[in-house]
Structure 1
Amino acid sequence: MNMDSTNIKRQQKDYWTLDKQHVIHPYTNFEKFSDEGSVIYAKGKGHHIYDEQGRAYLDGIAGLWCVNIGHGNEEIAETMAKQSQKLAYYNTFEDASSKPMAELGEKLAEISPGALNHVFYGTGGSMGNDTAVKIAHYYFNLLGKPNKKKILSRDLAYHGSTYLAHAITGISSTHMSFDLPHQLVHYLTAPYTYRNQGDRTLEEFIDFLVDEMEEAIIKIGPDNIAMFFAEPIMGAGGVIVPPGDYHKRTHALCKKYDILYVSDEVVTAFGRLGKMVSSKYLFDVEPDMCVYAKGISSGYIPLGATMISDQIHQVISKPKKDNPYFSHGFTYSGHALSCQVGLKNIEILERDNFCGHVSKWGPYFEEELGKLSEYGIVGEVRGSHYMLALEYVQNKETKESFAPEVNIGKRVYHHAKQLGLIIRPIGNLNVLSPPLTYDQKAIDNTINIMRESIERTIKDLIEEGLWQQ
């Protein structure tokens, strides 16, 4: 068979059917997948993605919160090619390393707040949060505090879907039929002002959240709690921005009761909120651990990092007589090619002032999207910079949600997709988290499509008798 006939045969393949027959997708809706299947995407450039038929879409979700420098970056492609020719991979167990691994470690320590000077590499956020738990347990065991195992998390928190990370995740609907180690985790009320504030003033709501956390600590016992997981802005749980000084006060509680504060910056780091790292520079918190992924490589290659403080490192790095090894690691920890891509990605973010770009256009994006709250089904528009969401309601005054079977977020999503914009549907929400290449034109196009999509959805709802103006 010659090359031309091979190409023809490849082009004739039905990838949509092959995908349905053989691939299990993350968070698949099996009720619909057998009929609908998946869109086959073929390429991306800047803030656009193209399907197999060549149709262009504005990528309003940056792949999945992560393609920060945009699709199809040639510098990253060249970096991958050059590094793979030098050294794509070698194991990093104990006495082996690489220049990219060491250099990226130096760079991450430079951009991380406070005493976060030590990094353990993985391939994503779930792995990074699992690593944080293992290190915390190990740390307290070595300090002679073996009972400090419990984890504080929050309702609607998202920290991943590996075994431990999924348990820390507070989105209860995702837990159904999975046997997760829930005995390790205590979930606190989400700092979800729109739904949970009630009749309290904002200050009273913050007091309630902090008091609840302290009461939980006292009830469980500080000697039994290892760590508290926080997202600077809660992502998959609904783009929930904690109010006021909530972060500072929960961090102070952790210090008071000897609980490690873990900042999950998988989404919020590397420019999405206009800063390379958000915990310190937006919320004035210096965590004991910080977890990075997604934007660390702009999604071009799997990479994650768990940063730990000097204090923690000093304890875990002392050799133990019975076992001097730190018995934790993965085949791809510190993958040379991944680390080199991470370095180049951070170089591009800093050199091209992506944080300045997001700081400039983020408020405009927020303001323009906020105007969509004029529609009767839009209960709240919230978020910050390039991390935004719309929450839809049946009744604005009562904040009554649409019934799940209405699938309101998916309805708007389908209309937007038909108009050339990809957004993320999550129940009664739509999330927008575009590449940081988004400029005024892309923002304006996005707002126009969202407006049209909401209007079409309202028309559908009225025709189906599901909503009245």
Structure 2
Amino acid sequence: MPDNVGAQWNAGETLEDAKRHLLSPSEEMAKLGKATRPLIAYGEGIHVVDAHGRRIIDGPAGMWCTQIGYGRREIADAVSAQSLKLSYNSPWYTTNSPSIELARRIAEVTPGDLNRVFFTTGGSTAVDSALRFTEFYNNVLGRPEKKHIIVRREGYHGSTSLTAACSGRAFNWQNFDIASPRITFISAPNIRLAPGLTEAQFLDKLVREFEDTVGTIGPDKVAAFLAEPLLASGGVIIPPKGYHARIKAICEKHDIIYISDEVVTAFGRCGEWFASEKVFGVVPDIITFAKGVTSGYVPLGGFAISERLLDKVAGENAKGSYYSNGYTYSSHPVSCAAALANMDVIERDGILQHVRDVSGHFADALRSLRDLPHVADIRVAGLVGCVECLVDTASPEVTDRDKKLGGRIDTHCFDLGLLVRPLGNVCVLSPPLVITKSQIDEMIAILRQGILKAAAELKQPAEA
């Protein structure tokens, strides 16, 4: 137990304070003030420990982000040292050495000519800033009509007004005014919802849909295509092989900026610093990142951008313009110092290779659950995977009963010592990248028990 978690900490009082004062993300308003979420006291390696001292495997790695695990002294020391040296500087008229060094380090591992880095406060602001760049870019080029954005259903890109409007998960739209006339959705690349098609046929269908969508809107009006390499919060939806490269070729034909949203997949999740090129076969014009850049220790996000794009609106082509988008905490020195320490640990400990070494075992372990009742699909890439459960596996439609089944599985797993990312009927696992094969086996064994317990409850007459 860390030194700062001791007897003076009263869990009961803390939980009561949470009920009285805390408004959490995705708060169920009917329960506001009456209930609160499980209280986590501290983390250690791949585990978190709750207020009762129970050790729980952190299956989602926080929110897809605790790459190197909890309790790493290297990050704490880097944060402490930088806080004492320079805790803040205004990015509007000064700069700091950690942000400069981090930009260089990131540029060394990005694909293509994505050699310049803009820092933000997290994933939502990273994607928002990248999209705002496309507005700036086309305005400077004298193309004010070229502002349309194409995104996918079931994608998730953030919680600013613009990024929320680009997120195709229906749940995120409830009771918010999100719709935007300059954003168009195309199909999620989920082959489970395309029965009867081969992967090649499904890929052709998706590409035709994109091409037709561009044609309908007008190539002179489409500014950007925004896509996660795999749709993470949409349920770990993995496109057919070659999807991104074929979409990128259409984007190049029509001068459409291809933005790869790697907030989840960057910094090792798929065994590479960035997954776009080496895992998914595409070199984007812009890559957004956050989460794993600091392993979740402190907030930081940003995007890396192509020199080719910048050259068109910089120097003699600038036309007096300023890319005036930014934040009080852009290039924050403490966050950048944490990210540098995080990259050091990933390199020193060979974590990218470790992910490549264990990801096959992780995939096999997940797929071993195919024999269980109500398991409809299993999807996995690197160290992110999911088990999709349906009451009736023959039906592709997701019902409220399916979502309740997923909720039961989550609850049983938590009681058994495993956090599972709750996404309706989809059980998502994306553990810290330092997880071992034996820990993977333990995690999957708990998930198996959770699914079996929930399945047994469905057989009870009251639940029929």
Shorter-chain TM-score bucket reads: over 0.9
Structure-2 residue corresponding to 1:235: 232
User: Secondary structure of the residue that 2:312 maps to in structure 1?
Assistant: helix
Q: Is the 8 A contact 1:263 1:279 kept in 2?
A: yes
How far is the alpha carbon of 1:318 from its aligned partner?
Answer: 3.4
Question: CA 1:175–1:402 in 2, change beyond 3 Å: closer, same or farther?
Answer: closer
Q: Distance in 2 between matches of 1:247 and 1:464?
A: 47
Q: Report the alpha carbon displacement of residue 35 of structure 1 after superposing the two structures with TM.
A: 3.6
> Which amino acid counterpart does residue 343 of structure 2 have in structure 1?
I
Query: TM-score under structure 2 normalisation?
Result: 0.95
Q: How does 1:27-426 map to 2 (within 5 A)?
A: 27-94=26-93, 96-195=94-193, 197-318=194-315, 324-404=321-401, 407-426=404-423
- Superposition CA RMSD, Å: 1.8
Q: Distance in 1 between matches of 2:11 and 2:153?
A: 47
Using the TM superposition, name which of 409-418 and 30-39 deviates more: 30-39
CA distance in 1, matches of 2:128, 2:164: 9
Which whole-Å CA distance do the structure 1 matches of 2:37 and 2:53 have between them?
15
Query: Is the contact between residue 377 and residue 392 of structure 1 (CA under 8 Å) also seen in structure 2?
Result: yes
| CA distance in 1: counterparts of 2:53 and 2:128, whole angstroms | 39
Shift of 1:181: 4.6
| Letter matched to residue 45 of structure 1 | E
Gaps of 5+ in 2: 1-5
Once the two structures are TM-superposed, the CA of residue 396 in structure 1 deviates from its matched residue by 2.5
Q: Deviations over 1:235-279 (max 9, x none)?
A: 000100101211111111111111000000000011111111100
Give the Cα–Cα distance (whole angstroms) in 2 for the partners of residues 375 and 31 of structure 1.
34
Equivalent residue number for residue 3 of structure 2: none
8 Å CA contact 1:39, 1:51 repeated in 2:
yes
Check whether the contact 1:394–1:400 (CA below 8 A) recurs between aligned residues. Answer: no
SS in 1 for 2:220: helix
Instruction: Note if contact 2:266-2:275 (Cα within 8 Å) is conserved in structure 1.
Output: yes
Which residue in the other structure is 2:14 paired with? 15
Cα deviation for residue 429 of structure 1 reads 0.6
Question: Judging changes above 3 Å, is the alpha-carbon distance between structure 1 residues 267 and 54 closer, same or farther for their aligned structure 2 residues?
Answer: same
Return 5+ residue gaps in structure 1 as ranges.
1-6
Structure 1 contact 228–259 (Cα < 8 Å) conserved: yes
Q: 1:10 to 1:51 in 2, by over 3 A?
A: closer
CA displacement at 1:10 relative to structure 2: 5.7
Deviation, 1:452, is 0.9
Amino acid at match of 2:41: A
Deviation at 1:104, TM superposition (A): 0.4
Cα displacement string for residues 190-215 of structure 1 (whole angstroms, at most 9, x for unaligned residues): 000112x2222221111110001000
Question: Aligned partners of 1:141, 1:202: CA distance in 2, in Å?
Answer: 39
Give 1:368 deviation, angstroms: 1.0
Change (3 A) 1:400 1:135: closer
Cα distance, 1:8–1:78 mapped onto 2, change above 3 Å: closer
The answer to whether the 8 Å contact 1:157/1:234 transfers is: yes
- Contact 2:19/2:34, CA 8 A, preserved across alignment: no
Change (3 A) 1:342 1:319: farther
Partner of 1:3: none
SS for the counterpart of 2:168 is coil
1:433 and 1:154 map into 2 onto residues whose CA distance is 22
Determine if the alignment matches structure 1 residue 439 to structure 2 residue 433: no
CA distance in 1, matches of 2:426, 2:391: 13
Cα distance in 1 for residues equivalent to 2:360 and 2:235? 19
Mean CA deviation greater in 9-18 or 268-277: 9-18
Paired AA for residue 343 in structure 1: L
Determine the C-alpha separation between the residues in 1 that align with 2:385 and 2:279. 16
Q: Structure 1 residues 304-313 or 148-157, which shifts more?
A: 304-313
Q: Distance in 2 between matches of 1:322 and 1:418?
A: 61
Residues paired across the two proteins, number: 459
**Alignment deviations for residues 109-155 of structure 1 (CA, whole Å, 9 cap, x no partner):** 11110010111110111000100111111011111111110100000
Q: Hey, what's the Cα distance between the residues in 2 that align with 1:163 and 1:228?
A: 18
Deviation for aligned residue 1:398: 3.4
Contact 2:67–2:295 (8 Å) recurs in 1: yes
For residues 215-242 of structure 1, the C-alpha deviation after alignment (integer angstroms, 9 at most, x for no partner) is: 0000000111100011111100010010
Quote how far apart the aligned CAs of 1:28 are.
1.5
% identical aligned pairs: 37
Deviates more, 1:306-315 or 1:396-405: 396-405
Question: Could you tell me how far apart the structure 2 residues matched to 1:387 and 1:444 are?
Answer: 15
- Residues 164 and 181 in structure 1, CA contact (< 8 A), matched pair in contact too: no
Which amino acid is 1:359 matched to? R
Aligned to 1:4: none
Deviations along 1:369-397, one digit per CA (max 9) or x if unpaired, are: 11111112000111212100010112223
Distance 1:319 1:134, change over 3 A: farther
Deviation at 1:321, TM superposition (A): 8.6
**Residue-by-residue CA offset, 1:146-176 (whole Å, 9 max, x unaligned):** 1110100000001011111101111123112
